[in-house]
Amino acid sequence: MTGEFQHTLDSKGRLSIPSRLREELGNVFFVTLSMDKCLSAYSAESWQSFSDKVNEMPYVKQRKMRPLFAYAAKCELDAQGRILLPQNLRDFAALTKNVTVVGCNNHAEFWDSDSWSNIYINETTPENIAAVMEELEF
């Protein structure tokens, strides 16, 4: 998944998914919190493999995964290509109106547009890009 899209959260908490990402995310996918102040969306398929992996862990480790599942929402696109984001997820990522949807290879991220601008500016430096390229031998 690639690209950066500027969308808006409506008064009912709905977010339309960029058409470019719909094919890869599928009609039903999972949204949960991220280690950054944003949300991550995973296709049903990759969520399943994640969930399988957790099931094979010892119980004590599984407990640590709880927040991830507690926050996770199974989202289904409506006829207009939108999902309803639960309140707790919106709160976590401080999403109010302007949302930036970002394609991140194997998942998508939902950012408050202002938060995203800051991250993005800091990360998009020539030095940073160079470091990434180097690491990938790209």
Asked whether position 18 contacts a copy of itself by CB under 8 A, the answer is: no
**Subset of residues 68 to 127 that bind DNA, contact rule: CB under 7 A:** 76, 78-82, 84, 86-87
Asked whether position 3 contacts a copy of itself by CB under 8 A, the answer is: yes
Which of these, 98, 96, 123, 103, lies nearest to 41 by C-alpha position? 103
Which two structure tokens, joined as six digits, stand for 32?
């949960």
**Please, which residue, 33 or 75, has the CB nearer to DNA?**
75
Asked whether position 4 contacts DNA by CB under 7 A, the answer is: no
d(CA 106, CA 42): 8
Buried-state track 68-88, b at ≥16 Cβ within 10 A, e below 16: eeebbbebebeeeebbebeee
* Cβ(33)–Cβ(68) below 8 Å: yes
**Subset of residues 62 to 121 that bind a copy of itself, contact rule: CB under 8 A:** 62-74, 86, 88, 102-106, 120
Which two structure tokens, joined as six digits, stand for 117?
């601008």
**Please, which residue, 8 or 117, has the CB nearer to DNA?**
8
* Cβ(98)–Cβ(8) below 8 Å: yes
> Segment contacting a copy of itself (CB under 8 A): 1-9, 10-18, 77-85?
1-9
User: Which spans of this chain sit near DNA (rule: CB under 7 A)?
Assistant: 5-8, 10-20, 22, 76, 78-82, 84, 86-87
Question: Where does this chain bind a copy of itself (CB under 8 A)?
Answer: 1-4, 20, 30, 32-36, 50-51, 53-55, 59, 61-74, 86, 88, 102-106, 120, 123-124, 126, 128-133, 135-136, 138
